[in-house]
Amino acid sequence: MKISALKNQILLKKSFLCIGLDIDLEKVHASIKATEDPLFEFSKAIIDSTAAYAVAYKPNIAFFETYGSQGMASLKRVMDYLNKNHPEIFTIADAKRGDIGNTATRYAKAYYETYNFDSITVAPYMGKDSVEPFLNFEEKYAILLALTSNEGSSDFQIQKVGSQLFYEKVIQTSSQWKGSDRLMYVVGATKANAIKGIRNLIPDAFLLIPGVGVQGGSLAEVAESGLNQDVGLLVNSSRGIIYASTDTDFASKARDAAYDLQKQMQIILEKKRLI
């Protein structure tokens, strides 16, 4: 997908909402568990009820991998369904891969070609030869882990490297790599105070922002610091939407939660005169 198509969807839907498909079958209703392919059926129900408000979906690969070949077959069905019925929606493989050379290329081929994702999350720890293979595919994007919101992020990401923090060094260095015009960056919503500085380093890149909602991140604060002239944000909500209810009304409650976030985003975009 060309990035222009994503930008068009943001303006059309007045939304920069990404929905994470972190599907824990222990949390879904018994009626879904009883189906032949519960991972697919739950995903399809969420997609059908929320696609009017979302510009991106982010399946969490671990929640499919845990069920082995059957889970990965479900992932393929989810992606085939999304690409057939909602080709305008940007897709993210939340896989956090990170290896070098031919291995990175095979990871890229798996998710870009076999599963037909538009993008994949990538860990930058091993440097450019672990990331550039993901940038060798036309109209495909790598989303680099930059500043995450987990407790252990302080172990490395905010340590000093010379005059910079480590995450700043990662962002600045990666922006010079081949194909960096197709790099996006993960920044946790609970790190909103750092987003303005990150925007100074990468004014034009898209930021994927998880952590709004259940994890306590503020949509208003993220938008205030992170919006650029093209919006430039994908704000992700997973549990707050897909588990808005664990009863038979889970799909309609997911729709309500997605609609609520979309409306908040629309107000922000209108105030910023971006739509």
- Decide: residue 250, CB within 10 A, 0-12 exposed, 13-18 middle, 19+ buried: buried
Residue 13 annotated in active site: no
Q: Which of 253, 264, 145, 267 is nearest to 209 (CA)?
A: 145
Round to whole Å and give the CA distance between 183 and 181. 6
Q: What does the alpha-carbon distance between residue 1 and residue 52 come to, in Å, rounded to a whole number? A: 19
Cα separation of 232 and 195, whole Å? 12
* Contact assessment for residue 241 and residue 212, using Cβ atoms and an 8 Å cutoff: no
Q: Which of 7, 27, 96, 128 is catalytic?
A: 96
Tokens 């498909």, residue? 21
Catalytic residue IDs: 96
